[in-house]
Amino acid sequence: MRETPVVIAKPSLAAYITCISGMAFGGWVTWIICNSANIHKEEPTIEFYLLAGLFAFVTIGSFITLLTIRSIELTRDALIIKRPFLFLKQSVLLANIEKVTEKPFKVESSTRGNKILIHTGSKATIVLINSKKLTIDTFSTRNYKELIKQLKHLYRLK
Interval 95-119: pLDDT, tens? 898 988 999 988 787 777 788 888 8
Judge if pTM exceeds 0.85: no
In a domain, 53, yes or no: yes
In a domain, 40, yes or no: yes
In a domain, 2, yes or no: no
What's the distance, Cα to Cα, between the start and end of the chain in Å? 21
**In angstroms, how far is CA 122 from the centroid of its own chain?**
14
Q: What is the CATH number of the domain that holds 85?
A: 2.30.29.30
Q: C-alpha distances in angstroms, 3 versus 38, 48, 74, 78, 90?
A: 58, 55, 10, 9, 15
In a domain, 16, yes or no: yes
In a domain, 49, yes or no: yes
Q: Hey, how many other C-beta atoms are within 10 angstroms of the C-beta on 4?
A: 8
Query: What is the domain range of residue 67?
Result: 7-157
Interval 31-60: pLDDT, tens? 888 776 566 666 667 887 888 889 999 999
In a domain, 1, yes or no: no
- Number of folded domains in the chain? 1
122: Cβ contacts below 8 Å, ≥ 6 apart:
102, 103, 104, 105, 137, 138, 144, 145, 148
